[in-house]
């Protein structure tokens, strides 16, 4: 009987030892697989399985999060579409109207960006164009679509930018000298380097002084002429110049035929 009990106790002890036995720590990753002992190989396999299981769990969790995010995104898109359709109904507009408004606003933004690149003198000569931009913006603001969040902030920003484009002309003065000493005429004055350095700009001085110059061929010593900033001729200045040359040709032809030209 004692032998049986001793045998049973021995078996239980051996099972306990075998159950309690743990694998050794996994060997360094740099150690080649072929150099591993059986226990080290088992430990490495166990480590890789644990890493693989952890990665698989992370992947499954990410898939669940992605699926949830995609659903939320689709719900948001549907809500946006519903909201946009409701806004269009309130504005009495269609999607084509919305796209047309978007394009018109984009064109206006491009024009304003281009004008912002001009110098102060150039902007002073293009006040009418700035006014046209402001008129176009006000027209767009009168459209109910301008209240849509997509456009509202853009329109406010454009209004500030256009207001900032206005410039006042800086007009200097020039006192006319004598012909005998200074050879002053509008052509020569315009050609002076301190004025424009370009005699072809003389219509600018003429049109700035129509209150005291009726005939651009005649100016008088002592007159103080206003000299606008340099820059391209305005439409009014160009028209006045063409009218001047037409009258000159008519006068010349009349003189050649001894006929007084009609005024």
Residue 226 lies in a domain: yes
Residue 251, pLDDT > 90, answer no
Residue 206, pLDDT > 50, answer yes
CB 188 within 8 A of CB 194: no
When mean pLDDT is compared over 68-77, 131-140, 171-180, the highest value belongs to 131-140
| Rounded CA separation 214/227 (Å) | 16
Count up the domains in the chain and report the number. 2
Asked whether residue 153 falls in the same domain as residue 196, the answer is no
Q: N- to C-terminal Cα distance for the chain?
A: 151
* 57-87 confidence digits (pLDDT tens): 999 999 999 999 999 999 888 887 777 788 8
User: Has this prediction a pTM greater than 0.75?
Assistant: no
Residue 17 lies in a domain: no
Looking at 129, 146, 163, the residue that finishes a domain is: 163
**In this structure, what CATH number is given to the domain that contains residue 223?**
3.10.350
Residue 256, pLDDT > 70, answer yes
9-18, 22-31, 213-222: range with lowest mean pLDDT: 9-18
What is the percentage of the chain residues whose pLDDT exceeds 70?
87
Residue 72 lies in a domain: no
* 35-49 confidence digits (pLDDT tens): 888 888 888 899 889
Asked whether residue 191 falls in the same domain as residue 220, the answer is yes
Angle between helices 127-141 and 95-116 (to 10 degrees): 160
Average pLDDT over residues 2-31: 55
Which of the 8 DSSP states describes residue 234? P
16-20, 112-116, 192-196: range with lowest mean pLDDT: 16-20
Three-state DSSP at 138 gives helix
Asked whether residue 133 falls in the same domain as residue 178, the answer is no
Asked whether residue 177 falls in the same domain as residue 253, the answer is yes
Asked whether residue 176 falls in the same domain as residue 141, the answer is no
Residue 20 tokens read as 């309690």
**Enclosing domain of residue 220:** 172-257
Asked whether residue 121 falls in the same domain as residue 187, the answer is no
Residue 22, pLDDT > 60, answer no
């Amino acid at each position: 009987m004692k032998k049986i009990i001793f045998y049973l106790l021995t078996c239980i002890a051996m099972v306990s030892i075998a159950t309690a036995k743990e694998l050794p720590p996994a060997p360094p990753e740099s150690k080649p697989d072929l150099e591993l002992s059986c226990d080290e190989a088992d430990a490495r396999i166990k480590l890789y399985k644990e890493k693989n299981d952890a990665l698989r769990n992370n992947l499954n969790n990410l898939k669940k999060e992605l699926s949830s995010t995609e659903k939320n995104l689709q719900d948001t898109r549907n809500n946006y579409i519903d909201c946009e359709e409701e806004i269009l109904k309130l504005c009495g507009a269609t999607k084509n109207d919305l796209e047309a408004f978007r394009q018109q606003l984009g064109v206006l933004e491009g024009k304003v960006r281009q004008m912002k690149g001009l110098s102060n003198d150039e902007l002073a000569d293009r006040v009418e164009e700035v006014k046209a931009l402001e008129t176009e913006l006000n027209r767009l603001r009168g459209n109910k679509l301008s209240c849509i969040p997509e456009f509202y902030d853009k329109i406010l920003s454009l209004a500030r930018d256009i207001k900032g484009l206005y410039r006042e002309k800086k007009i200097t003065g020039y006192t006319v000298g004598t012909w005998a000493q200074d050879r002053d005429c509008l052509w020569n004055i315009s050609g002076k380097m301190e004025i424009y350095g370009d005699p072809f700009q003389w219509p600018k001085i003429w049109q700035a002084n129509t209150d005291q110059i009726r005939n651009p061929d005649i100016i008088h010593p002592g007159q103080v002429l206003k000299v606008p900033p340099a820059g391209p001729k305005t439409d009014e200045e160009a028209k006045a110049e063409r009218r001047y040359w037409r009258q000159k040709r008519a006068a010349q032809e009349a003189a050649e035929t001894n006929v007084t030209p009609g005024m």
